[in-house]
Amino acid sequence: MNKERKLIVAGNWKMNKTVTEATALVESLDRDLGTQTDVDVVVCPPFTALDAVSAKLRNSLIKVGAQNMSENDYGAFTGEINAGMLRDLLVHYVILGHSERREYQQESDAMVCSKTKAALAAGLKPIVCVGESLAQRDANETEAVIGGQLQGSLAGLDAEQMKGTVIAYEPVWAIGTGKTATTEQAQQVHAFIRREISKSHGNEIAQTIRIQYGGSVKPDNARELLSQPDVDGALVGGASLDAGSFSDIINNTRN
């Protein structure tokens, strides 16, 4: 699978895995993947396991990501974690604006944008999520919804900041449902996202930024999805909780 942009596959563990379970998973994953360099691999454990997972992967090619962070640098924000704290744990990536955060915590595009800027300022690579609900897709509002999310979540980012950003398209209707966008549907939306970025930040940035697909990605559909010209990786949920399954996804997409 020869692509101009290097594929990036990230596992979002959500609220799963104790510290013991998390370290066992990454030990197995690191062993399975060996020294492959074809795909950038990221694991995103819950906050409680970040320190232990980072320690296990200190000499690995697998990078560690967080599932969220505060837009604030420090202060009286009970229960929050800032970018500096993540950097201190050798975290490289952070997922921002996931549909579950947008829905359950009512995170707005403006908040996602603030978090994105805070992450970039601290040297973290944000994975900014966008996606439409089933009702919005059925109403033919996919492009309007995603276009608005892109505009709001990336507002004010300059070219250099965009280079350090990953976009994840996650159709809400395909997350944890077993439903998956067809390769044609995924490609159409990814191409639309790239066109929107070209309008806002120029064609050079649009052609270099990586756009992941997230939504019930599994070993048996990963290669076909990621073979699409504008699909540059995957944000994997449930299938990333098993080292063998996650390794299979990565290996199935390698050159």
pLDDT at 1: 56
pLDDT at 232: 97
> For every one of its 255 residues, what pLDDT tens digit does the chain have, with 9 covering 90 and above?
557 899 999 999 999 999 999 999 999 999 999 888 999 999 999 999 999 999 999 999 999 999 999 999 999 999 999 999 999 999 999 999 999 999 999 999 999 999 999 999 999 999 999 999 988 999 999 999 999 999 999 999 999 999 999 999 999 888 777 777 899 999 999 999 999 999 999 999 999 999 999 988 999 999 999 999 999 999 999 999 999 999 999 999 875
Whether 92 is catalytic: no
Beta pairing partners, 66: 94
Which one of the listed residues 98, 100, 190, 196 is annotated catalytic? 98
Q: pTM for this one?
A: 0.96
Q: Which CATH number fits domain 8-253: 3.20.20.140, 3.30.70.870, 3.20.20.70, 3.30.565.10?
A: 3.20.20.70
pLDDT at 177: 72
Which one of the listed residues 71, 132, 170, 196 is annotated catalytic? 170
pLDDT at 215: 85
* Per-position DSSP letters for the chain, written without gaps between them: ---SSPPEEEEE--S---HHHHHHHHHHHHHHHTT--SSEEEEE--GGGHHHHHHHTTTSS-EEEES---SSSSSS-TT---HHHHHHTT--EEEES-HHHHHHS---HHHHHHHHHHHHHTT-EEEEEE---HHHHHTT-HHHHHHHHHHHHTTT--HHHHHT-EEEE--GGGSSSS----HHHHHHHHHHHHHHHHHHH-HHHHHHSEEEE-SS--HHHHHHHHTSTT--EEEESGGGGSHHHHHHHHHHH--
pLDDT at 147: 98
pLDDT at 173: 84
Whether 98 is catalytic: yes
